[in-house]
Copies of this chain bind each other. A is one copy, B any other.
Amino acid sequence: MKQKPTLKVIAKELDVSVSTVSKALKDSKEIGAKTKERVKAFAKLYNYRPNNIALSLKNRKTKTIGVIIPEIVHHFFTTVISGIEQYANQQGYNVIVGLSNESFDKEVINLDMLANGSIDGFIISVAKETLAKEDYHHISETIDQGVPIVMFDRVVDEILCDKVIVDDVATSKKAVQQLIDNGCKKIGIISTKDYVSVGRLRTRGYLEALNHNHIAKDENLILKIDDKLNSNDNLEQLEQQIETFFEKNKQLDGVFAVNELYAITAMKVARKNGIQIPEQLQVIGFTDGVLSKHAHPPLTTISQHGFEMGEDCARLLIERLEKQDEEDETYQTVVVKTDLVHRETTKTKKQ
């Protein structure tokens, strides 16, 4: 339990100045060969490492990026984090994770805690409560203070910053089109309330697909789940709502669900009602996670490539950080491509 060596103690020990030690360690030509040797040997012996905090203070940058997400026990978000981590570490950056738990207040607190010099920039996916309140002052203030932000997945249009998203509308349209092509006549969507941007957009894509195929919109076929039900606690309520939905729509032969959980639960309800998948009912989910892959039957889904999204987020942020002098005020929105992963809840009509 010895104290960590600093330049100062090395200097004192070797009877040279602090600056000599510093320079010797960086192989400066200002320092003589034998002095360098002495210093390096001593530093290695005592396992000297420069103090990161001091460096951060001096350089006014921490080489750390803050990621704030609604929840971490969630396959998509962790996949994104993996991508962020990978790219960031590779560039010598650390990643600090803050959880908002979908709460506005916790999001504000997290932003506050980290924005005071702890991190160089943020990557954030906005909490549902924040989206519902439409209060983004904490985000715009952070940007105003010169801390760049990259938003992903749940983004908000009013805020000017770099963004990484999936083309929710086009992707959903593609998925629903697939159901139509596979012969579905009565296609329902299980979505979220409209203030969740991805729910809103995916619903729009669903409607566009119907419209494009001259299928009339039927409000009964659109189920908008209340956000609170996402938490694992009230699974039964979710199941109940979907059950009711199924009862209301007897000849339902296709379901597009905006997330894994809704898709899986729909399958569960279908199974309970003796509905054969995919023979009587075809299902496509958004987001390709473990649940979909290991479901029975394995679920056809849309893969959003979370890892790549994470990499893109980190890249965008770090690029902006590294050229912060130029004050580039033009922001990018990266749209990552999606893929339809055909598994066994859809009929394989066309590949």
B294 touches A264 (CB 8 A): yes
Residue A183 CB within 8 A of the other chain: no
B62 touches A72 (CB 8 A): no
Give the residues in chain B near A116, CB-CB below 8 Å.
49-52
B264 touches A117 (CB 8 A): no
> What is the oligomeric copy number?
2
Interface-lining segment among A122-130, A138-146, A191-199, A342-350 = A138-146
Cα A66 to Cα B129 in complex, Å, equals: 28
With beta carbons under 8 angstroms apart, the residue of B52, B53, B72 that contacts A82 is B72
Interface string of A255-296 (1 = CB under 8 A from B): 000000000100010010000000000000000001101111
Taking Cβ atoms with an 8 Å cutoff, the residues of A that contact B are 1-4, 47, 49-54, 56-57, 62, 64, 71-75, 78-79, 81-82, 85, 89, 94-99, 109, 112-118, 141, 144-146, 232, 264, 268, 271, 290-291, 293-296, 327
29 A-B pairs whose Cβ atoms sit less than 8 Å apart in the complex: A1-B327, A2-B146, A4-B117, A4-B145, A47-B141, A49-B116, A52-B117, A52-B118, A53-B53, A53-B56, A53-B62, A53-B117, A54-B117, A72-B78, A72-B81, A82-B99, A85-B97, A89-B109, A94-B98, A94-B118, A95-B96, A96-B97, A97-B97, A264-B294, A268-B296, A290-B291, A291-B291, A291-B294, A294-B295
